[in-house]
Structure 1
Amino acid sequence: MIEELKERLLENKTLATVLGTVFVMLLGFFVWSNVTRPKAEAQSELPALSTTFSASTTASFSKEKAASSQVASGRIFVDIKGAVKNEGVYELSNGSRVTDLVKKAGGFTEDADKKSVNLAEKLVDEAVVYVAKVGENVAQVTTPSQANNGIDQDTSSDQINLNTATLEQLQTISGIGAKRAQDIIDYRESNGGFSSIDDLKNVSGIGEKTLEKLKAEVTVD
């Protein structure tokens, strides 16, 4: 009886040991699978994230490059005056030439002196083009790229004619800046020109002292 009881206890102990071992193995496998699975999933997602980031970076770079290219090939604004059908400021693409501006202005008038302009000349932003009339004593159209500071080389040492000078030419007169030069042009257009140098006193900002300094540099002939 006692021997039989010992054998049963021994069998139960062995069974318990086996079951315990199996349980520990199952628990270890469960823990191991839960630890390694997130790592594997994270690694598998890395290429996709990398591809997405690369595509986004490339698209952003392309947009910046396109914007930079658009700025480089931007627009310019040029003022045309004189013997054209429609005087005014016109917007053109960068690299346009005087001939493009004349077309924008409706073409020459019948009394235009076509020799007074260089139709092949390239234009730059803020340039002023003056088309002379036949018989008008005006040098060839000036643009900033044609001569230093927009002055014709053959007239740079002569007196500036108040009745025909461009905005750039007027700014070469001592003490005359962009605003004062524009005031002179506005007065000239409003009053049909200057009849004498003394008429400069009628331009805002020019008094007796300034006039005396300018007389040696300007003319109305």
Structure 2
Amino acid sequence: MLEDFIEKVKENKVTALLSLIIAGLLVSFHLLSQTPQPNKNQLPAIVSSGKKHSVSSVSQKETDKSPSSSGKITVDIKGAVKKEGVYTLSSQSRLNDAVEVAGGFTAEADRKSVNLAQKLSDEAVIYVAFKGEDISVVGKPDNSQNANNSIDTEQSDKINLNTATLADLQTISGIGEKRAQDIIDYRDSNGGFSSLEDLKNISGIGDKTFEKLKDMVTIE
């Protein structure tokens, strides 16, 4: 009887031990299955994002360096100014700005030889004549150069309808403050003048007045 009891106790110990082992294995398997796995797509996505950012940065730098976005122009100013030379200015600069950076006029400068309100363009050459100087023969240029100088001088004497200020327009013979304001209002409302004939669209400027004005203005 005692022997049977001892055998049953031994069997129960073995069963209990096996149960503990199985339970331990199940718990271990459960814990391992809950461990977060690394996202295989995560690292490539970050790297890819980095590459895109890098390309974007390079593209932005190239855009910033482009002449069109720099807002700068380079002009060469000569003649009766204190500091002749090549200067870099804002793309919105006028001839007066170029004279200022060149130190201003000399005492011998013929200020009437230039239009200080003229808007400058990139690579422009500005020559300020000396008093009593015939700028058509400065440096004794050849005929083609002389022709170009004559054209430039003629154009600089004209008032640009698309850029002129109220004061500029009033320097035109026959244009008072009201008419000058009408010209500016028309320009602002219509996006500028596409031809000189557009002047006829302004009240008070008919064919006869237009004939008097057309040689004193330009749209270029």
In the superposition, the TM-score normalised over structure 2's length comes to 0.47
In the superposition, the TM-score normalised over structure 1's length comes to 0.47
